[in-house]
Amino acid sequence: MTVDDALALARRLGIERGDAQSLLAHLAGQDRAWLITHGDTPLAHAEAALRRLAAGEPLAHLTGWQPFHGLELQVTPATLIPRPDTETLVDWALELLTALPGEPTVADLGTGSGAIALAIKAACPRARVTAVDLSAEALAVARGNGERLGLPIDWRQGSWFAPLAGARFDLIVSNPPYIAGDDPHLPALRHEPLTALTPGGDGLADLYALIDAAPAHLAPGGWLLLEHGWDQADALAQRLAARGYTAATLRRDLAGRARASGGRWLSPSFV
């Protein structure tokens, strides 16, 4: 099958043109511009890869890479694929870090591919970043990304705050599982780890657990920032206020949907 044959097949399969070009360029070991002038070049494995893409396998899993906040990250089925929406959380974190002197401390909980931790470290090199994940497989991917990018992160394995006993941070960020267990979109995400997508129930369990536990690990004046679903902002605002956070607020993604909520911890005695 030639490049032109593969592009024609992609059209018949209903694959978006940009995705097809990205996949074929990856198979050829070239950039997308190369495809334009090499239409008659044979391309091994193109048909099988296109049919996998059409069947719902993520492009990032077929290529092994996903762009995020200016970084190229390796991803595998052991990790959640970083989404552009999560850049909202990173941008908010970087705004807060800009106002902090010295070497502010940051914890990224449930780091997956390391996307959030690495994006923060890349944009704010003076920050001292710790990243935690329960999955040894995901943590291996994250560590590999950090080594390849030359970004030093303190990687730790464990559940949420368990590997951080006694440590306090100026900023804690997390993109935890938050999709409701009966969400009709979950089947379309079957190629990604279910435990990184949903805690079951209404999707709020891990978000609430992080809100409740974070004060014991926040320095006075520190912030907790959480990504969540568009319809969960009100519930999180109430939980943050009830737990004693101040300045509780939210950020919206590029589509205008509520995407991240956070609060500041000012009461070291109320833990």
- pLDDT digits over 11-45, tens only? 999 999 999 999 999 999 999 899 989 989 999 99
Q: Are 271 and 216 contacting, i.e. CB atoms less than 8 angstroms apart? A: yes
Q: How is 231-251 classified by DSSP, letter by letter?
A: T-HHHHHHHHHHHT-EEEEEE
- pLDDT digits over 199-233, tens only? 899 999 999 999 999 999 999 999 999 999 999 99
CATH architecture for residues 75-265 = 3-Layer(aba) Sandwich (3.40)
pLDDT-derived band at 195, boundaries 50, 70, 90: confident
CA distance 108 to 112: 10
Q: 160 to each of 4, 41, 176, 213, how far by Cα in Å?
A: 48, 49, 10, 9
Six token digits for residue 150: 């030359």
Q: Measuring CA to CA, which residue among 142, 163, 141, 164 is closest to residue 152?
A: 142
Taking residues 241-255, report their average pLDDT.
93
Beta strand 128-133 pairing with 169-174: unpaired
Calculate the dihedral angle through the C-alpha atoms of 91, 223, 256, 22, rounding to the nearest 10 degrees: 40
Cα 104 to chain centroid distance, Å, stands at 21
Look at phi and psi of residue 256 and say left if phi exceeds 0, alpha if psi is from -120 to 50, else beta. Answer: left
User: What is the per-residue pLDDT for 269?
Assistant: 52
- pLDDT digits over 137-188, tens only? 999 999 999 999 999 999 999 999 999 988 999 999 999 999 988 888 888 8
Taking residues 49-61, report their average pLDDT.
94
DSSP 42: B
213 CB-contact burial (10 Å; exposed 0-12 / middle 13-18 / buried 19+): middle
Residue ranges in the chain assigned as alpha helix (H): 3-13, 17-28, 32-36, 46-54, 59-63, 87-98, 115-123, 136-149, 205-213, 233-243
- Per-domain residue ranges of the chain: 3-55, 75-265
CA angle 11, 17, 20 (to 5 degrees): 85
pLDDT-derived band at 268, boundaries 50, 70, 90: low
CA distance 264 to 271: 13
**What percent of the chain shows pLDDT beyond 90?**
86
Three-state DSSP state, 163: helix
pLDDT-derived band at 100, boundaries 50, 70, 90: very high
The mean pLDDT value of the chain amounts to 94
Q: Are 92 and 176 contacting, i.e. CB atoms less than 8 angstroms apart? A: no
pTM for the structure as a whole? 0.92
